[in-house]
Structure 1
């Protein structure tokens, strides 16, 4: 077997094969035997059908099977022998006719990882945001928690105010005619929530219980119901009841409802969580800046197959997150394709970063010790709340284990790079614009 390898670009190779007659005849004979063993042809027993008859009935299938066998056997063997880091399926771009007694040749193109020799990765100047604790954040969070425990109770006030929950009967008319979905009884609405047509809630402020009012609004352009979009409407509204939120006091009893002993302990827990969250954000942005600098110093062309894989991962990730919130991409007016178009540049940058980190790991001879794997598995078990044995079982599969090792290697490379960088702490107001973020595989 003769193989010629051409470098079409930094990320694409063409492999040209020429297979001798003996190999071609052997593949055709094996295809004949395999199909002939089960072929059903009237007048012949299975396994006894002559070749000429098989070719008449099963010629295309035999040829395709022989062709697949030849290409699979030779292509993947060539990748191994020549150490070609393929990242895509082969694309056969040219082939000769397949026939017994004739040399067979074909050409296949494949995307590969680019050859990369990282440079200029020491002494990178980076800005890191200086963490400043703001007690107002904790005050706001406590207020949110308090509001979350608030109960809606009847109000003694007779006129509605912004923030009240009002119970109303209403019926809407467009051009004097009622429209579908425009009527309700006993509907509860929070004034100021913005959940109704713009202008509707504002006109209910000041209404007294038991009174009626005509409310004039205009449906916004692009409204969900195209028949109502942009049209003026009149709603006849009657105020039936006023309710208000009654929130619990912020005291030790409130803290005990969260399983803590005192309000001070609750504040400490919130501060601890806030500090951890902010430190993760700041560290993440620092790493993004580092990757941006690395890519600028080591421009690298990326295989389209890896970009496509990263985009598929990102779509799956966002769909899973949205599903947990009872939402979907479609509810946000997006599809898989539109999401991929929007985040393609992010995916390209992430693939570039992964390729550079991978090359750096080879150059710096970074290895993973067994103790580091155990530590990572324990960390995953702690964060997920899953039993350690269950986590170990999950990561025992080849693909999962390979992914875990890759994570550990990338983290070790990042720590190495950060240690080689010149990092300046700066106030948030003086910080350069944060780099674009995205979900990384």
Structure 2
């Protein structure tokens, strides 16, 4: 094997690898000899088939196997000998000249291919020994428990049948049979019997429940609706449908204060025990939000403390995923960049910064995790797979099969687990100070807060002389130039907490969607 470096620019490398024809020939003969005792050919006793005959029958297919094996082994050997760590799987390119390929397959020419890749950038982990973090902590108030208890009571309240002459009101529960049709044809999943439906719960297609208000037990109604454009089943999305509905019962809600008997219906010993369980659940929600905010704070610190060149292909891949999610959501919502008060060019720059941040943090956390000896066990990976499957009710088996047959997908499950362990390792050694906050502050969206502060800053800057604007931008961002100051809030959007962005434009909220706490994919 002969290896020649043809490119060395920054993190980019390109190697030309040549495997001699004689070496391929030796491997071909070795492989044919292995097959000699395995194949069964008419006219030959087992193990007695001449190698020359095997070569005539199987030579081409075996040579293809030999070439593939040679590429795999020599490419890995080249990396090992050079002591280089690729940031991703190297791109292997063989000649496209059919004559040259034919010469290699016939054993008359050397095998030559190129390897293109980027190396993991050299960088040092910053000193984290004096790292200080604030953990926002909110107490669980009695009013929160009372509110939660009322919601549970509302959800599990009893219903009593109305008189046959009474009409259904908003808030009543109707029991119905229905058959749905599109263009006169019944469709799969559009029919059911004895379905309980609480009017006003918005659990059915928009417009369905409203058309049952005023119905009586035994009445038949024709309900006309249009499936939402973003409906989960694509073959129904945006379609007009007509449902033939039979109202079998109308029941009115029975109001009452939660008591011990109500708690026992939910499997608890008493009302006090139910309240304690609610307190524990709310406390768990608070703890999760606290950890998410502290993690974001940590990621911000790590991002500020580390600056190094990034593998361009990794950034490109991350950006494409973010951009695809953004444009897909905007398309579904029928929005443009102008609607969001920006341009495509500005949005690309903003989300490119997010992609760079994610890749940088992924590399930093990967190094920290490796140095700390972080590992992911089979049980942990299996737990992550089960959680993923639960996100697709009714399709659990397909999800399991997909991940078990796709090693790369399993690696994507491993990434967040590894990252979280690395984060936990840092936090365990950090100086953490608990800061009391309200529940509203704990669950406040940091990106909306940043946008609000940015808006205030703009208004304040507009009232000051133009000469002072640039200096204020630098002061607000630790002396960085104005362009960096504008990009910073956008980069932070990647690590947003679990709270929803209710009022934020699509162009701002999509980047972090589904990536709330994750800095890297693998």
| TM-score, normalised with respect to structure 2 | 0.53
Cα deviation for residue 208 of structure 1 reads 6.7
- Is 2:446 the counterpart of 1:432? yes
CA distance in 1: counterparts of 2:83 and 2:227, whole angstroms: 61
Compare CA radii of gyration and give the structure with the larger one: 1
CA distance in 1: counterparts of 2:227 and 2:419, whole angstroms: 50
CA distance in 2: counterparts of 1:108 and 1:120, whole angstroms: 36
Q: Which residue of 2 aligns with 1:263?
A: 271
Report 1 or 2 for greater relative contact order, CA contacts < 8 Å, sequence distance ≥ 6: 1
Q: Deviations over 1:242-265 (max 9, x none)?
A: 312336641233334555554234
Q: Which residue of 2 aligns with 1:298?
A: 307
Cα deviation for residue 125 of structure 1 reads 8.5
Distance verdict in 2 for CA 1:44–1:348, change over 3 Å: farther
Q: Which residue of 2 aligns with 1:2?
A: 2
Cα deviation for residue 274 of structure 1 reads 0.9
Q: Which residue of 2 aligns with 1:137?
A: 144
Greater helix share, structure number: 2
CA distance in 2: counterparts of 1:200 and 1:101, whole angstroms: 74
CA distance in 1: counterparts of 2:19 and 2:191, whole angstroms: 77
1:19-418 mapped onto 2 (5 Å cutoff): 19=19, 23-38=23-38, 53-86=53-86, 88-94=88-94, 97-98=103-104, 103-110=110-117, 112-119=119-126, 129-155=136-162, 158-166=166-174, 189-195=197-203, 201-202=209-210, 205=213, 219=226, 222=229, 229=239, 241-246=249-254, 249-258=257-266, 260-295=268-303, 297-298=306-307, 301=310, 352-360=360-368, 366=372, 408-416=421-429, 418=430
Cα deviation for residue 163 of structure 1 reads 0.8
Distance verdict in 2 for CA 1:12–1:254, change over 3 Å: farther
Q: Which residue of 1 aligns with 2:486?
A: none
Q: Which residue of 2 aligns with 1:396?
A: none
Cα deviation for residue 287 of structure 1 reads 0.6
Distance verdict in 2 for CA 1:59–1:166, change over 3 Å: closer
- Is 2:15 the counterpart of 1:15? yes
Cα deviation for residue 203 of structure 1 reads 5.9
Q: Deviations over 1:362-418 (max 9, x none)?
A: 6xx5457xxx999x99xx9xxx9xxxxxxxxxxxxxx99x998876454213444x4
Distance verdict in 2 for CA 1:36–1:8, change over 3 Å: farther
Distance verdict in 2 for CA 1:4–1:205, change over 3 Å: same
CA distance in 2: counterparts of 1:76 and 1:293, whole angstroms: 36
Cα deviation for residue 284 of structure 1 reads 1.2
Structure 1 window deviating more from structure 2 (120-129 vs 287-296): it is: 120-129
Distance verdict in 2 for CA 1:305–1:68, change over 3 Å: farther
Which runs of no fewer than 5 residues in structure 1 stay unpaired? 313-332, 334-342, 385-398
CA distance in 2: counterparts of 1:179 and 1:373, whole angstroms: 51
Distance verdict in 2 for CA 1:227–1:272, change over 3 Å: closer
Superposition RMSD in Å = 5.5
Cα deviation for residue 356 of structure 1 reads 0.6
CA distance in 2: counterparts of 1:263 and 1:164, whole angstroms: 26
Q: Deviations over 1:106-157 (max 9, x none)?
A: 3233565333334486888877545254434322321233234433321359
Which runs of no fewer than 5 residues in structure 2 stay unpaired? 322-331, 333-350, 388-409, 448-492, 497-511
CA distance in 1: counterparts of 2:205 and 2:359, whole angstroms: 44
8 A contact 1:36–1:47 mirrored in 2: yes
Determine helix, strand or coil for the equivalent of 1:268: helix
CA distance in 1: counterparts of 2:179 and 2:40, whole angstroms: 73
Structure 1 window deviating more from structure 2 (116-125 vs 59-68): it is: 116-125
How many residues are treated as equivalent by the alignment?
A: 378
CA distance in 1: counterparts of 2:67 and 2:194, whole angstroms: 72
8 A contact 1:127–1:425 mirrored in 2: no
CA distance in 1: counterparts of 2:93 and 2:208, whole angstroms: 64
CA distance in 1: counterparts of 2:46 and 2:244, whole angstroms: 83
CA distance in 1: counterparts of 2:31 and 2:179, whole angstroms: 75
CA distance in 1: counterparts of 2:251 and 2:6, whole angstroms: 76
CA distance in 2: counterparts of 1:62 and 1:178, whole angstroms: 59
CA distance in 1: counterparts of 2:79 and 2:181, whole angstroms: 71
8 A contact 2:303–2:361 mirrored in 1: yes
Structure 1 window deviating more from structure 2 (22-31 vs 47-56): it is: 47-56
Cα deviation for residue 47 of structure 1 reads 5.1
